[in-house]
Amino acid sequence: MTSSVQSAPLVQILRDAFGFPAFRANQEEVCRAAVAGHDLLLVMPTGSGKSLCYQLPALARGGTALVISPLIALMEDQVAKLAALGLKVARIHSGLDRSASRQACIDYLNGSLQFLFIAPERLRVPGFPEMLAKRRLALIAIDEAHCISQWGHDFRPDYRMLGQHLPQLRAGDNHCPVLALTATATTTVQADIIAQLGMTSPAKFIHGFRRDNLAIEVVEIPMPMRAQIVTGLLKDPARRPAIVYAQSRKQSEALAEELGYQVRAAAYHAGLDADTRERVQTAFQQRELEVVVATIAFGMGIDKADIRTVIHAGLPATLEGYYQEIGRAGRDGKPSRTILMHSYADQRTHDFLLTRDYPPTENLSTVFNMLSGESRSVDDLREDSRLGPEEFDKALEKLQIHGGAHVDFGGNVTIGRPAWKKTYSVQSAYRREQFEKVVRYTTSNDCRMSALVRHFGDVEDANRRCGHCDVCDPAGAVLRLFRRASNRERHQVQEVIDALRASAYKTPKGLRGELAWAESMERDDFEDFIGAMLRAGLIAVEDAEFEKDGKIIPFRKISLTDAGFEVRATTPLDLLFSDGIVEEFGTAPTAKKKKRAPESSPPGKAQTSAAPSSPSAKRYRSDEPAPIELTGDSADLASRLKEWRAAEAKRLGVPAYLVLHDRTLNALAARRPSTPHELLAVEGMGPSKVGRFGDAILALCSH
């Protein structure tokens, strides 16, 4: 790097080397701190320009920047971009042959590189850290730094060891700043990154988690219906390009095959060979493919700004991972939509996966008790263990992470410290808490974007509602259908307001206990009731927590807003209650179909322009539907359903209408559904009601 470039103002380097006329928000402040030699932690979302925050300071400081990156796809993408700018760059990872890696080392040692990218496991190769230490580094950038933390959503053991190598790389005259960069790190993860890297008073930049162009939608949908609904959604060209995140390789391939009949789609997962994954990624970037159905590995190395839709066909494991994945959408700043589908079955799946990935402490103790100060090979230990091969490998992996075992590069194992039990137990509990936060997110009635911003600790921007999600703008939801409140429900809203006037806040449980009709409601039905009031701006719901027996217990506070305080018995109330899925995607037969958006419209916003919607275009139903006329067999079935409803209501101790509304009962009698899918298509039969009463109703309808 020439001295003229090193001494140039940062804005000049930005223009000359990268072709940008000006810095984006927060970039210049970060770059100045790095150029000045400060260690720093940068937490900014995907698409906000994090990469420039190490690339520009590297050029300004001179020498070679060492960039440590966990994913080959991400590394290759960054290398290609820098090379296209005419910069001198090389990379070393497992996908390259030995001669290419050797040449990269030669170029590094002779000082001809401005950037050297490496995978973290290279630092475990004998002699490699010593080779790096022979030259002065401009800086060390650690991308996807959340992988360092055992509390991170994508923890990598090799990343955990980075802190052990940094003193050698920064010794003597080689002292250089360390920049840790990530798009997803909670306050707990941030503190762990700093501690593990041995940073002293680093500059911290936590910015930009709000994405104003994303409309987030969360909807409960049974697993068997998801493929049909995803296909129906993505038929619309305005909703493509799209990424669909699946929970398994099998689901990824099945969904891609189903979509392939309608759009150009392909699967992407770790079970495919490297050439196939690269072809899929390239085809998607070049618009030869319109949809990729992927596991979580996809998207990390993708720089595609025009993704219009991201769909999760199942619950993600963490909010951090979820936020990172929805962040692939709309990086060009245009309106885009993200949809999360979930059901109770997803929770059972994750319970199984957590049990597999965090085995019983007894398994770890079995392996630990086999170890000593004398090294043994992994293969010998596995053969002697009473555990199965997969159980043994998982137990040894966890022992290594928590210091109970030391495994060298040759696969030889020696005993570690006995204190591993405490940290393992804490981490196992933390992982389960992470997933419980995802479940709470799906059932929350808070603004979706505000909840995510608050989760990442960006407190300065946590209380502004986004105006686009299914909570803030129910009429704009693509999948969720809403109905207007009945007169009975409006009266019940008034009772809730009266109950809340008496105190600063109440918990949901406390509030239900004060209202006779609410105490007998199913929890899901009461949550929908609270959601309707929240959407109407009558109440506020705040997440809080307290400590009990050493555990943090989350709870929610419900309080009246100013608008809620002003409500009187004569105040007209207009509330919307969740009521199934839009007809064109398989349910709600009496709902008006949503018109297809023209190709120039933003996805999911065909009916949410600035102009008021016409009554026929609204995404909710009137509380005065046309009556259903029943005759003959239909009338007989209605009578049987009413008898069953009365008995069920008596058994549950609730009013009959909480089991089935009259209009739902009459619709069942008129349509006589014969499958769970047909049952879900009846107005008022959401997934929770089908789960509780579906078998009994189908049995009655089949007679």
**Model confidence over 40-99: pLDDT tens digits?**
999 987 777 899 999 999 999 999 999 999 888 788 889 999 999 999 999 999 888 899
Which strands, in side-by-side order, build the sheet including 214-220?
Answer: 214-220, 336-342, 309-312, 242-245, 291-294, 265-268
637/220 Cα distance (integer angstroms): 29
Q: Which residue has the higher pLDDT, 663 or 461?
A: 663
| Token reading at 451 | 């909840």
Residue 656 has pLDDT above 80, yes or no: no
3-class DSSP state of 541: strand
Residues of the chain with CATH 3.40.50.300: 3-206, 210-346+473-482+579-624
Residue 179 has pLDDT above 90, yes or no: yes
Residues of the chain with CATH 1.10.150.80: 632-702
State the DSSP string of 28-56: HHHHHHHHTT--EEEE--TTS-TTHHHHH
Percent above pLDDT 70 for the chain: 88
> 3-206 domain in CATH 3.40.50.300?
yes
pLDDT in tens, 192-248: 999 999 988 899 998 878 888 999 999 988 888 899 899 999 999 999 999 999 988
Fold of 210-346+473-482+579-624: Rossmann fold (3.40.50)
Residue 607 has pLDDT above 60, yes or no: no
> What is the enclosing helix (H) or strand (E) of 273?
none
CA angle, 348 then 351 then 353, to 5°: 115
pLDDT interval class at 608 (50, 70, 90) = very low
3-class DSSP state of 27: helix
Query: Is residue 697 packed enough to be buried (19+ CB in 10 Å), middle (13-18) or exposed (0-12)?
Result: buried
Look at residue 606 in the predicted model and tell me its pLDDT. Answer: 33
Q: How many helices (H) and strands (E) does the chain have?
A: 30, 21
| Token reading at 45 | 């979302």
Strands 242-245, 309-312: parallel, antiparallel or unpaired by DSSP? parallel
pLDDT interval class at 657 (50, 70, 90) = low
State the DSSP string of 328-365: TTTTTSS-EEEEEEE-HHHHHHHHHHHHHHS--HHHHH
> What is the enclosing helix (H) or strand (E) of 311?
strand 309-312
Residue 496, CA distances (Å) to 93, 164, 542, 644 in order: 61, 57, 17, 30
Look at residue 171 in the predicted model and tell me its pLDDT. Answer: 77
3-class DSSP state of 612: coil
Residue 390 has pLDDT above 80, yes or no: yes
Look at residue 692 in the predicted model and tell me its pLDDT. Answer: 79
227/223 Cα distance (integer angstroms): 8
Look at residue 589 in the predicted model and tell me its pLDDT. Answer: 34
Look at residue 4 in the predicted model and tell me its pLDDT. Answer: 47
Q: What are phi and psi of 424, to 5 degrees?
A: -65, -45
pLDDT interval class at 654 (50, 70, 90) = low
Look at residue 295 in the predicted model and tell me its pLDDT. Answer: 86
pLDDT in tens, 109-151: 999 999 999 999 899 888 999 999 999 899 999 999 988 887 7
pLDDT interval class at 615 (50, 70, 90) = very low
- Which of the listed CATH numbers 1.20.120.1200, 1.10.357.10, 1.10.10.10, 3.50.50.60 matches domain 486-574? 1.10.10.10
User: Mean of the pLDDT values across residues 258-270?
Assistant: 91
Measured over the CA atoms of residue 68, residue 74, residue 75 and residue 78, the dihedral's sign is: negative
User: Mean of the pLDDT values across residues 149-173?
Assistant: 77
Look at residue 42 in the predicted model and tell me its pLDDT. Answer: 95
Residue 610 has pLDDT above 60, yes or no: no
Q: By the 8 A CB rule, do 215 and 468 touch?
A: yes
| Token reading at 224 | 């068997």
Radius of gyration of the chain (CA): 28
Fold of 632-702: DNA polymerase; domain 1 (1.10.150)
Residues of the chain with CATH 1.10.10.10: 351-429, 486-574
Spatial CA neighbour of 221 closest among 340, 303, 59 = 340
pLDDT in tens, 565-578: 888 877 778 788 87
User: Mean of the pLDDT values across residues 613-621?
Assistant: 36
| Length of the chain (residues) | 703
> What is the enclosing helix (H) or strand (E) of 539?
strand 539-548
Query: Is residue 218 packed enough to be buried (19+ CB in 10 Å), middle (13-18) or exposed (0-12)?
Result: buried
Task: Say which range, 21-25, 200-204, 679-683, 698-702, has the weakest mean pLDDT.
Answer: 679-683
DSSP state letter for 295: -
Tokens 């245009």 correspond to what residue? 334
User: Mean of the pLDDT values across residues 515-536?
Assistant: 83
Fold of 351-429: Arc Repressor Mutant, subunit A (1.10.10)
356's CB contacts (< 8 A; 6+ apart) are 394
β-partners of residue 340 are: 218, 312
pLDDT interval class at 605 (50, 70, 90) = very low
Look at residue 102 in the predicted model and tell me its pLDDT. Answer: 94
Q: % helix / strand / coil in the chain, to the nearest 5? A: 45, 15, 40
> What is the enclosing helix (H) or strand (E) of 579?
strand 576-581
pTM: 0.65
3-class DSSP state of 219: strand
Q: Which residue has the higher pLDDT, 594 or 317?
A: 317
pLDDT interval class at 688 (50, 70, 90) = low
Q: Which residue has the higher pLDDT, 574 or 590?
A: 574
3-class DSSP state of 543: strand
Q: By the 8 A CB rule, do 351 and 378 touch?
A: no
| Token reading at 641 | 């359903």
User: Mean of the pLDDT values across residues 614-643?
Assistant: 65
Look at residue 594 in the predicted model and tell me its pLDDT. Answer: 34
| Token reading at 438 | 């995802």
